[in-house]
Amino acid sequence: MGTPIDEIEYGNDCLICTGLFPAGKTPKYIYIVFEGIEKCEGAFHDPPNGQKFVLEQHPLDHCTWYNSSHPSIYIIVSFTELWTLVEANFLDPPDEFFNSLETASPCVKESISNATDCEGWSYFNGTAKLFWEADGIPYQIAVTMGFTNQSEVLSDRLECGIDHEVIKLCRRCDKTNCLFLVDLEDF
């Protein structure tokens, strides 16, 4: 049937990343998806590639988001004036599966793992992609199409090759259905 998409809930302003978050537009929740993480021999868990995790804005540090409710994975994303930190750990047994410290540019939406091989790591390679729209691309399309009541819009996604997805939006009130072929590099 599809997943409802909703408007963004805003939190406290992150004054460091004004390029990402204009005044009054810092999201209370951001989403993170890991891709391409590889498991080294002896690592206990499979990497959570392709899973979407919800992170909540820290109540005191408004440029940090974390997940507090997942039973087996802890993730933190923190922006400073000098870097972006993304760190993710399995809790039982404790094991870091992603670590990235982006120093070339603070406030980035995509981070690359610091680990490039198994030496000293249980997991290597991979990227972490951040977004804060309720469901990323479907939300952006719904707003562009003028679907003003996003809680009435359902979305489905279908992968179509490596760099493309088909997004289906269905507006419940008048049963409008739209299909969009999306080049993921544009988002």
98 and 25 in a single domain? The answer is: yes
Residues 74 and 102 in one domain: yes
Q: What is the pLDDT of residue 22?
A: 86
Say whether both 127 and 178 belong to one domain: no
Q: Which of 103, 131, 159 is where one domain is finished?
A: 131
Q: Is residue 106 part of a domain?
A: yes
Query: 34 and 101: one domain?
Result: yes
Q: Are residues 55 and 17 in the same domain?
A: yes
- For residue 1, is it within any domain? no
- CA–CA separation, 152 vs 25, rounded Å? 23
3 occurs within a structural domain: no
User: Taking 70 as the threshold, does the pLDDT of residue 134 lie above it?
Assistant: no
Domains: count for the chain: 2
- Angstrom distance (rounded) from CA 85 to CA 106: 9
Cis peptide before 71 (omega within 30 of 0): no
User: Is there a domain that residue 59 lies in?
Assistant: yes
Q: What is the DSSP letter of 140?
A: H
Q: How many residues does the chain have?
A: 187
pLDDT band at 158 (very low <50, low <70, confident <90, very high): low
Is residue 82 situated within a structural domain?
yes
pTM (2 d.p.): 0.71
Give the structural domain span for 89.
8-131
pLDDT at 105: 74
Residue 169 within any structural domain of the chain: yes
Higher pLDDT, 179 or 11: 11
Averaged confidence pLDDT in the chain: 83
Specify whether the CB–CB gap between 146 and 12 falls below 8 A.
no
Query: Residue 178: is its pLDDT beyond 60?
Result: yes
Closest CA relative to residue 34, chosen from 20, 44, 45, 26: 45
pLDDT level of residue 148 (50, 70, 90 thresholds): low
Whether residue 92 lies inside any domain: the answer is: yes
18-34 mean pLDDT: 88
Tell whether the model's pLDDT for residue 74 goes beyond 70: yes
One domain, residues 64 and 95: yes
Q: Say if residue 91 is in the same domain as residue 62.
A: yes
44 & 70 share domain: yes
Q: Are residues 172 and 127 in the same domain?
A: no
Q: What is the mean pLDDT of residues 76-85?
A: 92
Distance (Å, whole) CA 161 – CA 168: 16
Does 80 lie in the same domain as 44? yes
Q: Are residues 53 and 98 in the same domain?
A: yes
The reply to whether 112 and 154 lie within a common domain is no
| % of the chain with per-residue pLDDT over 90 | 41
Assess whether pLDDT exceeds 80 at residue 150. no
